[in-house]
Amino acid sequence: MIILDTNILIEILKGNQKTINKVQSFDEILVISSISVMELYYGAINKSELKKLERFISLFKVEYLSKIISVKAISLVKTYAKSHSLDIPDSLIAATTLLANAKLFTYNLKDFSYIDKLTLI
């Protein structure tokens, strides 16, 4: 399983062919966090763009937050927020990835590279 970070989804929406080709080359299940869904909706500029995002998001399996993901994210924030400026959305995406035993495809490697046992693409 591969979880696509929000920045990857944004690049796909922009039509970045390099990103699209890379995502299409994966043989694993592609998943997005509900946090990424919220970030995309938050960034929408109007209702028309929201409709487009709804169609786009429907192409992926969405992994929703749970108590266990929240507990793991709290642990990550406690460990990394002060030393590495880990923010809440990234902690939730990282926790989701770790607990799913998945890999995270992101262009923001510096935001996640220090998290123990997190596999990045």
The domain ranges of the chain are 2-120
In the predicted model, what is the mean pLDDT of the chain?
Answer: 97
> What span, in angstroms and rounded, lies between the C-alpha atoms of 4 and 49?
20
> What span, in angstroms and rounded, lies between the C-alpha atoms of 8 and 3?
10
Low-confidence ranges of the chain (pLDDT < 70): none
pTM value is 0.93
For the segment(s) 2-120, the CATH number from 3.90.1560.10, 1.20.1440.120, 3.40.50.1010, 3.40.50.11900 is 3.40.50.1010
